Amino acid sequence: MPNLPVAVIGFWEACFRSLVLGVLQGLTEFLPISSTAHLKVVPVLLGWGDPGVAVTAVIQLGSIAAVLAYFRSDLAEVIRGVGRACRHGQWGDPSARMGVAIALGTLPIVFAGLALKLWVPDYDNSPLRSMASIAVVSIVMALLLALAELVGSRRRELVDVQPRDGVWVGLAQALALVPGVSRSGSTLTAALFDSWQRPAAARFSFLLGIPAITLAGLVSLKEAFSAPTGGGAVPLLVGIVAAAVVSWLAIAWLLRFLQTNSTWVFVAYRLLFGVGILIWLGARMGV
C-alpha cells in the first residue's frame, strides 16, 4: 500500500499510526533487536508503507528524552569528570575516561551518516533498507551476539572504561545505520566480545547512543515535518511522547534483566524475526 498524505488518511489515523511507531520505537531502541528494522517492517506488514528515515529518526528523540532522564546522574558525573580533567588534567578519572570514550565513539557513526547522505541520496529506497536485507542482517547479528555470549569473559565493569572502548564500540554503533543491525545490539555485542559484564555493556551502550541519536533526530526534524508519512507536528509529537514513556520502561527492564540473565532470548527472537521475514517474502513471491 503506498504512503498516503495526512489529508487522505485523516488526522486521527495519523496520530494513531504515530502512536504505534512511538511504542515500537520505545520497545526496540534499547533492546538488541533493531528499532529501525521494526519501524519499517511492522508498518509495511500493516499496509501503511515505509514511514521513512526522517520520521523514524525524529520519533527516536523520545528515546533520547528517556535515556537523558534515566541516566541524568551518570551524565552529570561524566560532565563533572570531564570538567575536572580539563582544569586539573585528571584524565585517569573513570568519569573523564567515560566522557572521552563517548566522544570518540560518536565519531564513526557521524562520519558514516555523512557519507550516506553524500553518496546514497535516496537511502530510503536503497537495497540496504529492503525487507530481504533486514532479514539477513538480523540473522547475521543474532549469530554474532550468540558468539559474543559464548566467548566473552564478562570480567570488565563500567569503571574500567578506556578511550579505546569508545572507538571499538563506536565502530560497531556505526553499523546500525543499516536496518536490522540494531544500535544497542551491535554495541552490546562489541562490548561482550571485549569482556564486558552484561549490565555494564548495556549501560555504556545507552550512554554512547545519546549524541548519535540526538544528532540524527535534530537533523531530520525539518524533513520529517514536511514528509507525507509524518502527518505533521502533532502526530509526530504523539510518537515522540509514546517513545519516551515506553523507552524509560524498556531501559529499566533491560538493566534488571541483564543482572541475572543472558542475551540468548534476544538471539532467538532475532533469528525468528529474520526467518519470519524471509518466509513472508517467499510467500509473496510464490516460492
Task: Count the residues in the chain.
Answer: 287
pLDDT of residue 221: 65
Average pLDDT score, the chain: 89
142-185 confidence digits (pLDDT tens): 999 999 999 999 999 999 999 999 999 999 999 999 999 999 99
Q: Using H for helix, E for strand and C for coil, what is the string for the chain? A: CCCCCHHHHCHHHHHHHHHHHHHHHHHHCCCCCCHHHHHHHHHHHCCCCCCCHHHHHHHHHHHHHHHHHHCHHHHHHHHHHHHHHHHHCCCCCHHHHHHHHHHHHHHHHHHHHHHHHHHCCCHHHCHHHCHHHHHHHHHHHHHHHHHHHHHCCCCECHHHCCHHHHHHHHHHHHHHHCCCCCHHHHHHHHHHHCCECHHHHHHHHHHHHHHHHHHHHHHCHHHHHHCCCCCCHHHHHHHHHHHHHHHHHHHHHHHHHHHHCCCHHHHHHHHHHHHHHHHHHHHHHCC
The pLDDT score that the predictor gives to residue 1 is 43
Q: List, for residues 98-122, the tens digit of each pLDDT value.
A: 999 999 999 999 999 889 888 887 8
pLDDT of residue 128: 85
Q: Which residues pair with 129 in a beta bridge?
A: none
**pLDDT reported for residue 91:** 92
Q: How far apart, in Å, are the Cα atoms of 71 and each of 65, 74, 149, 195? A: 10, 5, 26, 23
The answer on pLDDT for 6 being more than 50 is: no
Banded model confidence at residue 274, pLDDT cuts 50, 70, 90: very high
Q: For residue range 56-94, what is the model confidence (pLDDT) as tens digits?
A: 888 888 999 999 999 999 999 999 999 999 999 989 999
> What pLDDT, on a 0 to 100 scale, did the predictor assign at position 52?
79
Residue 96 pLDDT exceeds 50: yes
The proportion of the chain whose per-residue pLDDT surpasses 90, expressed as a percent, equals 69
Question: Of 48-52, 183-187, 188-192, which gets the smallest average pLDDT?
Answer: 48-52
**Residues of the chain with pLDDT > 70: what percent?**
92
Whether the pLDDT of residue 222 is over 70: the answer is no
Does residue 74 or residue 128 have the better pLDDT? 74
Domain extents in the chain: 6-285
Q: Please write the tens of the pLDDT for every residue from 240-260.
A: 999 999 999 999 999 999 999
> What does the alpha-carbon distance between residue 143 and residue 137 come to, in Å, rounded to a whole number?
10
